[in-house]
Amino acid sequence: MATVFFLISIYLFFSAEISQSLQSNITKGSTLFTNSTPNFWLSPSGHFAFGFYPSGNGFKVGTWLIGRPRNTVVWTALRDEPALLPGVSLVFTTDGRLLVLNFTAVQLIAQTNQKAQVAAMHDSGNFLLYGSNMEVVWATFRFPTNTLLVTQELGPEKILYSSKSDTDDSAGDFKLWMQGDGNLVAYQSKSLQLVKYSYWSSQSKSNTRGVSLTFAADSRLYLVNSTGFSIRNLTGGTLPVNKTTLYRATFDVDGVLRLYQHQMGADGSLNSIVLWSAINREDRCSVKGACGLNSYCDNNGADNIACLCPPGFDFADPNQPNKGCKLNSSVDNDCFMKGANDDYMISTLENTIWERDEYEVLTPVSEEACSKACLEDCYCVVAMFKDQVCFKPKLPLRNGIKNSSSPSTSFVKVRITNTKNIITKKLGKELLITGVVLIAFSLVILASSGYLIYTHQIWSLKVMTSQDCPPDVLRDINLTSFSYDQLAVATNDFMEEIGKGASGKVYKGSVPENGGKEIAVKRLEKLGCYGAGELKKVVGEVEVNLEELEKMVKIGLWCVQTEIDLRPTMKQVILMMDGTIVTPPPPPPPNSAANN
């Protein structure tokens, strides 16, 4: 009996010693600051650290594998929260809580049902909180983000989310879900968990509940049920595991699960290689969402896939081709007019296809008939042809892929006169405004010049007549101006017509102030404006729209009215030119004169 007690005591002693050697304990009240040195808690081997790491212009709390040329983050707290500002602190409080003091705010890192007594950074990369009986009350391994380390597992209904980018550990575009039916399945983050939206699966056939993805100590990734029975191996395992050879399984930024091996150098270097990938390099375009909406993915054997826009589309963000494409033109109402197809052409993309979500299917048809059907359909932008079936997908296009082994053809309708129409419309409006302004300006200059010439001639005549002519002769040759009312009195309200000219009728009258001398007065039918007949004489044989020309002349005459208040605004000019408002006849000039 004493021997048994002695053996148990030795076992407990060495177990405690081994446990202490595998982890670095952190006592309550310990605090890290973003600007402290160090600002992390290190594992005994020095391979892993927990604390603050740089992220953008601030910091995040997490666990990372230390190495050169750069550290590898394997877990992140408060993943989708903004980066922490410099000066905040990470505290393992005296009452057993792990939290961030962010100036005026408190952010809890570990949600626990009981207070922790001690924290520890383990050589496995696991950061743990222990209770009073050294039971684990919280651990980073229980809440994986995008990475699994050796001995860690992804439990039933748990999800790994890819990072947004290599420098941003926020949740990204893809998720790896350990489904309740025993299948490990990859989806786009914002898609429904339906088979048609998945792009990779472990293809487990057991339909067993309670299945987990486990990362064994021998580096083997496998699926195991709740009784510990292995359902399916993803990797072979049996790889060497020691203090200088470490492994991690990461659901990467591009939505692919990969197994990495890290060889730790004596100088702190970290040599990393990919041992296994769920999706082969040549099949990376099969990842749904690898390229954004309205684009397609081309894997031409290069290190990186290429996201491309079909004809008639431009990148939504030229600096981020994977964010998708947008139409560089829109279907105008004239598409529905007769002969509108002349403004479009069909561009062909071989071996390129998008996810099926069509509004119309034609079968059986030829390639030529499929292309023509899209060209004649105002709602069609892309048509896909395969096996004598023509699909017309809705916009936006999703999950496009170019695959040389796929015997399919896509037809893209492209507007060929879009640029021309835009330029024509823009220039037309600009030329309209410019033309109106030039006409008005020319008329103003013409009127001003005529006025100057007229006043100069009158002045010269006055000088000449005052010097060379007697007063009675001067009175006879001097031109007299009459107002409209004076002329109406002189002609007895235009009573007696004695003739008719091209622009109006001639009436007989007399001037009492001049001894009853008889005069002839011509009354213009369209004062201040040409009629259609006169304009026809002006333009001669030139083909013009006489109504438009008459309207422009009227607008020009409005623009040179002597009274500024009568002149139209530029907005009114444009509306009159467009025909939006009617152009009224301009008023007769004030003090219209006749010669006696």
Q: Which two tokens stand for residue 252?
A: 């990467």
Closest CA to 140 of 213, 79, 183, 85: 79
With beta carbons less than 8 A apart as the criterion, state whether 382 and 310 touch: yes
Q: Interhelix angle for 532-539 vs 546-559, to 10°? A: 100
H helix runs in 326-389, sequence order: 367-375
Strand partners, 509: 519
- Rounded to whole angstroms, the Cα distance separating 326 from 312 reads 9
State the number of CA atoms in the 13 A half-sphere of 290 facing the CB.
27
- Rounded to whole angstroms, the Cα distance separating 91 from 108 reads 10
With beta carbons less than 8 A apart as the criterion, state whether 173 and 162 touch: yes
DSSP string, 59-113: EEEEEEE--BS--EEEEESSTTSPPBPTT-EEEE-TTS-EEEEETTEEEES---S
The neighbour count for residue 342, using CB atoms within 10 Å, is 8
- Rounded to whole angstroms, the Cα distance separating 498 from 490 reads 14
With beta carbons less than 8 A apart as the criterion, state whether 389 and 362 touch: yes
Does 522 count as an annotated binding residue? yes
Q: β-strands 58-65, 118-122: how paired?
A: unpaired
With beta carbons less than 8 A apart as the criterion, state whether 312 and 330 touch: no
What phi and psi values does residue 486 have, to the nearest 5 degrees? -65, -40
Give the angle subtended at the CA of 354 by the CAs of 352 and 358, to the nearest 5°.
Answer: 130
The amino acid at residue 455 is T
DSSP string, 152-201: -EE-TT-EEEEEEETTEEEEEEEEEEE-TTS-EEEEETTS-S-GGGEEEE
- Rounded to whole angstroms, the Cα distance separating 23 from 34 reads 23
Percent helix, strand and coil across the chain, each rounded to 5? 25, 35, 40
In the three-class reduction of DSSP (H, G, I as helix; E, B as strand; rest coil), residue 350 is classed as strand
Q: Which two tokens stand for residue 402?
A: 């170019």
Query: Which DSSP letter does residue 292 get?
Result: -
Annotated binding residues for ATP, as ranges? 522
Annotated binding residues, as ranges? 522
